[in-house]
Structure 1
Amino acid sequence: MSESTPSPGLPRRLLADPEMVAACAERDFALIFQLAKRKGGFHPSRIARACELTPSRVGEVMKGRPKITNMAVIERIADGLRIPGRMLGLADRSWEPSPIPRQGPTPAVGPARAPLPVVDSRSGSDLDNILAIAAGTRVTPNVLRSLQASIEDYWRRDDQHGGEALRPAVIGQLRYVTGIMRDTADPNYRRSLHGIAAELARLTGWTYFDARQYNTAQGYFTESLRFAREIDDRPFIANVLACLSLQSTYQDRAQDAITLARAAQDSARLVGGTPRLMAMLSMREAFGHASAHDQEPTHRAITEAQQHFERIREGDEDPAWVEYFDHTKLTVDTGIALGQLGDATAAEPLIAEALRAEPTTNLRGRAFHSFWLARTQLQRRQVELACATATEALDLAAVIESPRVVAHLQEFRHLLKPYRANASVATLADRITSAAS
């Protein structure tokens, strides 16, 4: 088919255009649509048909309002315009050529999961392969420090803006690290590289979890477990199991969440897990019990978390990845667990206290916690106050990339139904609907 003939998707030359590549990496759909029109001859009506959107919606997006964060819409755009999944930080689409199979067995946790993304010879992984080959065994302490600093920067940016735009870079660095790991003979360097690969795989899994792509997230979490297990890093294994436990609560698999949290605690105890780490893991168990609406075990797990936290002492050798679990985080997590149990009277002041103390730079965390505060306020029939708090969460959701936040707000819209006669409620519900579209 010639490029002058209308094709099912964007021309290959446009998909290779650096401006389009950058726009896809940032999920800048305003620019993607503008480039599709200007360089690909796709007028808004054609984009609308291909992506199952209305022409007016396409026009609004091209003007930069509002941003598209809904994963179902993003996937429709990828499929409608035939944008490869990797360009948008998605798993490979069903219409893409099959990737080269991974060599050797892939470890699994529980039943069979979706296959992990693999390095192949298509554009996008070529540079990673070239760099890995060129690096050979020339790993130095400076290289390791640089990689670790990148991870810390990724987590900071993930907290501030969400992980959607970060994902392509993180996956690329994971490919790079696994490449040089294969060519590195020094056992000390190999151990450090395995630890870095485990962190990158967990971060990748987290970005997919935040995007509510749970099967792909579990694949990367499993990959992270494999890297950590190869160096017997029991605390990090506990950390990944805690991530899987939290994901299970989102999938309404309360018993799985509890089992995974307890397995994480067992792994941490094998090497004398620090009080801070054990406190975090106990709170993950509390979330599992709370999602099952089991009062007594939830309160017991919360008490255990508080007791562990009280034993924290200056000089504890906490892993860097658990340092985020401070008093403010313990407070807000306790409030959320109590809110899940329906004890809004106890939950509301805890979440409000944590929001006052929480860093203003942690936009995604503040959006989540504002939602939970609004939910407890609504449970207490404080309708106007709940709407004001949820509006703050909605405003934060407009500047971050987190489908989980949007999903929570959609849940809140459902909770508002009995109060739709209230003008504030009707306005907020309409705004949430618009943000989710």
Structure 2
Amino acid sequence: MQRIVRPQWWRDGVYRGVAVRVHLARHDIGAVFGFLKERGFSWSAIATATGLGASRVSEIASGRRIVTDYAVLERIAEGLNIPRHYMGLALDEQARHHRQDSPSDQARSLAPIDHRELLGVVASIAVGAIPADVQRWLPSSQEIVVPAIVGRDEVATVRAVTAFHRRLDAAAGGGRCLQSARGYVAWATQLLQMKCADAVAADLRAALAELHNLVGWVAHDLDDHDMARRHLTQSLVLARQTDSLPLLANTLYRLGRVSLHQEQPAEALQLFGLGQLAAQQAGCHASVAILHANTAWAYALLGADHQVVDSLTRARGELEQADLDTAPAWTHFALTEADVHGISAVVYSALARHPEHVRYVDRAAEHSHQAVRLRQPQDRRSYIFDTISVATASILAGDLATAGEYGMKAVGLMADGMRSARVNDRLNALWELAARQADREPALAALGSRIAELQAV
């Protein structure tokens, strides 16, 4: 007998004590398949409806495989008659358009950003004055059909989509989730035009600000810095409109990190300073700590050792006062000892690359080894950064064998599914340092070959 999916299941159903709507918003497709199994569907029946194949359905249901691809999520929604907006999916025609136009193609249609001019725009927003022509600094979005009335469920979907993509980005890099996340931004942006209660509208703007913040960070991870700045500036506008000071601090921190990555420490210091104003006004010790730590990084690139030590000391002091229960979710990564050691390793390595400050290499080595020891498996990209930090400090200290060992470990982790331009950039920086010593250590010579092979793929 052919099984029929009943529409009310997706609206009112419960699986393992959690509403099916919540599972759909989280893209927990394994739970969705388990829910159908309880209603008499076989894996083969689900496979027929979705076109996925019975073995793949079984793997998804058991948790051995997760679904992240936008096209596959669309196929599941269509095959199982799931209302697309329950999963934050655009309508068919727009979704096809989204898949066909790559993010880089869409970004090229916008005029390049003059980030020096943008700095003035950002400063205006940070202090409460949104410029009249701000639109030209923001990302473009396509028309998407959405529900006529927006409620708490749609806001919850935006937040769940953001959390899901943030986890995926940390585990596998921006290349695994940028296109998908931008599709949800287009959908969520259109929700702002729909009818909703004032309180829902405010929550929606805050949730969308976090989603734009995520997309900006993911774009940064892929070295698309214009796209990163556009989405982060949009996040800044929405955060200012909702008076979300912690999110303002977060976004200014991320804008500063983009500048750091592009070796513009003076610009980064200005952005971190603006972020400090918001973080201190919010009374958020964790945010203040993160901004102090990254300020130290900017000073390290400038070779200002006294300011580096002072900023890291201030960061540690603020972290000691931070409360995990009240700190914003985005700051939680910085409250771990692994990340404290990780950022300290990066800062001291950057400082030790100045010949007059090479004495700080011992601190860089100590912090990097501690970070590797403490880092959790789900923070895979950060773990790769930590291994690169060990290799970098080891080269600066003259321990070439250890440098080769950890450099090769970083390359191996990168090759195992990590899609991050930032990791590639740091590997290149490592090789730039290692190349001078490669003739003295076979492991370093092999490292150069492996990096070249990896980046040629």
TM-score (norm 2): 0.69
Q: Which residue of 1 aligns with 2:424?
A: 406
Q: Which residue of 2 aligns with 1:394?
A: 411
1:110 Cα deviation after fit: 6.9
Indicate yes or no: 2:338 matched with 1:309.
no
| The 10-residue stretch of structure 1 (218-227 or 322-331) with the greater mean CA deviation from structure 2 | 322-331
| The 10-residue stretch of structure 1 (169-178 or 109-118) with the greater mean CA deviation from structure 2 | 109-118
1:202-231 superposed Cα distances (whole Å, 9 cap, x missing partner): 111111111111122111111110111111
3-state secondary structure, aligned to 1:270: helix
Partner Cα distance (2:135, 2:410) in 1: 33
Superposition map of 1:16-415 within 5 A: 87-92=101-106, 108-109=121-122, 116-120=138-142, 129-130=144-145, 132=146, 135-139=147-151, 141-273=152-284, 275-313=285-323, 315=325, 317-326=326-335, 327-342=337-352, 343-398=360-415, 399-415=417-433
| The 10-residue stretch of structure 1 (219-228 or 408-417) with the greater mean CA deviation from structure 2 | 408-417
* Native 8 Å contact 1:410 1:436 kept in 2: no
Distance 1:147-1:260 versus aligned 2 partners, 3 A rule: same
Partner Cα distance (2:209, 2:426) in 1: 29
1:113 Cα deviation after fit: 11
Distance 1:110-1:191 versus aligned 2 partners, 3 A rule: closer
Unaligned 5+ segments in structure 2 are 1-50, 53-67, 71-96, 112-117, 125-133, 353-359
3-state secondary structure, aligned to 2:203: helix
Partner Cα distance (1:419, 1:261) in 2: 36
Distance 1:272-1:361 versus aligned 2 partners, 3 A rule: closer
Amino acid at match of 1:119: S
Count how many residue pairs are aligned between Structure 1 and Structure 2. Answer: 340
* Native 8 Å contact 1:163 1:210 kept in 2: yes
Distance 1:86-1:235 versus aligned 2 partners, 3 A rule: farther
* Native 8 Å contact 2:173 2:418 kept in 1: yes
Partner Cα distance (1:166, 1:293) in 2: 36
1:388 Cα deviation after fit: 0.6
* Native 8 Å contact 1:242 1:264 kept in 2: yes
Name the structure, 1 or 2, with higher relative contact order (CA <8 Å, separation 6+): 1
* Native 8 Å contact 2:275 2:291 kept in 1: yes
Amino acid at match of 1:428: L
* Native 8 Å contact 2:158 2:208 kept in 1: no
* Native 8 Å contact 1:85 1:91 kept in 2: no
Partner Cα distance (2:238, 2:135) in 1: 18
Partner Cα distance (2:158, 2:141) in 1: 19
* Native 8 Å contact 1:84 1:92 kept in 2: no
Partner Cα distance (1:328, 1:90) in 2: 34
Partner Cα distance (1:414, 1:114) in 2: 38
Distance 1:387-1:114 versus aligned 2 partners, 3 A rule: farther
Amino acid at match of 1:411: A
TM-score (norm 1): 0.72
Amino acid at match of 1:90: S
Partner Cα distance (1:298, 1:391) in 2: 30
3-state secondary structure, aligned to 2:310: helix
Q: Which residue of 2 aligns with 1:431?
A: 450
* Native 8 Å contact 2:148 2:195 kept in 1: yes
Amino acid at match of 1:138: V
Distance 1:88-1:296 versus aligned 2 partners, 3 A rule: same
Partner Cα distance (2:333, 2:384) in 1: 17
Partner Cα distance (2:375, 2:414) in 1: 17
Distance 1:188-1:404 versus aligned 2 partners, 3 A rule: same
* Native 8 Å contact 2:107 2:227 kept in 1: no
Distance 1:113-1:287 versus aligned 2 partners, 3 A rule: farther
3-state secondary structure, aligned to 2:122: coil
1:1-21 superposed Cα distances (whole Å, 9 cap, x missing partner): xxxxxxxxxxxxxxxxx99xx
Partner Cα distance (1:270, 1:213) in 2: 31
* Native 8 Å contact 1:181 1:190 kept in 2: yes
Partner Cα distance (1:403, 1:352) in 2: 24
Partner Cα distance (2:217, 2:319) in 1: 25
3-state secondary structure, aligned to 2:419: coil
Partner Cα distance (1:392, 1:89) in 2: 31
Distance 1:366-1:225 versus aligned 2 partners, 3 A rule: same
Partner Cα distance (1:409, 1:346) in 2: 21
3-state secondary structure, aligned to 1:182: coil
Partner Cα distance (2:261, 2:232) in 1: 15
Amino acid at match of 1:281: L
Unaligned 5+ segments in structure 1 are 1-17, 20-24, 28-82, 100-105
1:356 Cα deviation after fit: 0.8
Amino acid at match of 1:260: L
- Superposed CA RMSD in Å reads 2.8
Amino acid at match of 2:392: R
Percent same amino acid among aligned pairs?
Answer: 20
Partner Cα distance (1:408, 1:336) in 2: 11
* Native 8 Å contact 2:168 2:176 kept in 1: no
* Native 8 Å contact 2:123 2:274 kept in 1: no
1:190 Cα deviation after fit: 0.8
Partner Cα distance (2:204, 2:136) in 1: 25
Partner Cα distance (2:442, 2:324) in 1: 51
